[in-house]
């Protein structure tokens, strides 16, 4: 008996099973930059100057910490985190 033929069918069926179970999810990006309450937050990559111009002076500022330096600005409805001079994350308050 030829072993190549003997193992070929199970191997082929196994490969078909694993490759046929692949799927993709759809991601809704329509609310990027908005919190559930509808508050628009600064987007990633915005500079500190752009955030000040668009949102005004923050209620509080934390000095840079660590390397790379991470700075935090607190606004009434969200907090913004900067790496160097650019936004890396914005978090809505509850």
Q: What total number of domains does the chain contain?
A: 1
Residue 91 half-sphere exposure, CB side, CA atoms within 13 Å?
8
The range of the structural domain enclosing residue 75 comes to 45-94
> How does pLDDT run across 10-47, given as a tens digit for each residue?
666 666 565 655 555 665 444 454 555 677 899 999 99
The proportion of the chain whose per-residue pLDDT surpasses 90, expressed as a percent, equals 55
CB 45 within 8 A of CB 33: no
90 assigned to some structural domain: yes
25 assigned to some structural domain: no
> How does pLDDT run across 39-78, given as a tens digit for each residue?
789 999 999 999 999 999 999 999 999 999 999 999 999 9
40 assigned to some structural domain: no
The proportion of the chain whose per-residue pLDDT surpasses 70, expressed as a percent, equals 61
8 assigned to some structural domain: no
59 assigned to some structural domain: yes
13 assigned to some structural domain: no
């Amino acid at each position: 008996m030829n072993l190549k033929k003997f193992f070929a069918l199970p191997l082929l069926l196994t490969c078909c099973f694993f490759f046929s179970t692949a799927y993709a999810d759809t991601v809704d990006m329509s609310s990027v930059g908005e919190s559930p309450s509808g508050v628009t937050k600064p987007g990633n990559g915005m500079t500190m100057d752009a955030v000040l111009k668009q949102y005004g002076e923050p209620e509080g500022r934390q000095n840079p910490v660590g390397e790379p330096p991470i700075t935090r600005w607190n606004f009434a409805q969200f907090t913004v985190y900067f790496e160097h001079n650019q936004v890396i994350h914005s978090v809505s308050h509850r």
